[in-house]
Amino acid sequence: MTLSLGNRPMAALGVLADETDAALKPLRPGTNGLKGLQLDGRFVSAGDGSLPATPDPQELGSDTQQLLLDFYRTHTGMSLPDRKRHHALPTMKRVVADVLIKHQITYTGMLQRLQLDSQPDDLSVIDCIAKTMFRDDTTNWGRIVSLVAFGAVVCSQLKELQRERCVETVAQQISSYLISEQHDWLLNNKGWHGFEEFFRVEDVESVVRSALMAVVGCAGIGAGLALLIR
């Protein structure tokens, strides 16, 4: 899909910086409140070195959809369905809030170039952005949080544009990408329980501070759509 932004040359949303991966190197047992080590993309128990049980593959999809829908509806002040809230919702709210505060300029510039008011209700551009962010086939929690945070700022602007009906679409687009393209990684990293465990570290900035970077030259997304972290 191509986004038209006048006569400006084609550009794209950036991949995450290599420093993010360095920030996610294995930690010693007990460091910063973590109970385990992350080795080769998998969590290992700090106690006996055994691999923990992975989530139910059949439930991971619905679990991801519920978390993102709960989060984006909460983020925009919308009511939630009458059911139990997702267990990872408090952690997601804390982590994304910290990222948005510290990278406000990044996401503001991103939204300005996205021209959300001209995007159709299916918001298929979200899937293009997600694929571009992970185009180097490297996945970690910092990248996933960066994508979810991007969805949060999109949802906030949709509300300002009186397009609250599209908030659920954002949740569907991002959860569909994670379920289809990052399914195995999520399973190997204990799903959203692994997310909660990882982000027991309070200093989220040390994990995602370089998660976003400006790039040009990718034809997958529209002109000037870049992250402005530096």
56-60: long-range pairs with CB below 8 Å, 24+: 57/183, 57/187, 60/179, 60/183, 60/186, 60/187, 60/191
pLDDT of residue 220: 37
User: Is 154's pLDDT higher than 70?
Assistant: yes
User: Is 41's pLDDT higher than 50?
Assistant: no
Which residues sit opposite 43 in a β-bridge? 38
What is each CA distance from 81 to 66, 73, 78, 86, in whole angstroms?
10, 10, 10, 11
* Percentage of residues of the chain with pLDDT beyond 70: 63
User: Is 224's pLDDT higher than 70?
Assistant: no
* Domains of the chain as residue ranges with CATH: 11-216 (1.10.437.10)
Could you tell me where the beta strands, DSSP code E, fall in the chain? 11-12, 36-39, 42-45, 215-216
Average pLDDT, the chain: 72
DSSP letter for each residue of 88-111: THHHHHHHHHHHHHHTHHHHHHHH
What is each CA distance from 151 to 21, 43, 46, 60, in whole angstroms?
22, 27, 34, 20
* Percent helix, percent strand, percent coil in the chain, to nearest 5: 55, 5, 40
Of residues 219 and 109, more confidence is placed in 109
Of residues 34 and 159, more confidence is placed in 159
pLDDT band per the 50, 70, 90 thresholds, residue 7: very low
Task: Determine the residue type at 90.
Answer: P
Two structure tokens written together for 11: 């550009």
| Range of 11-15, 23-27, 175-179 with top mean pLDDT | 175-179
CA dihedral 158, 151, 16, 112 (to 10 degrees): 0
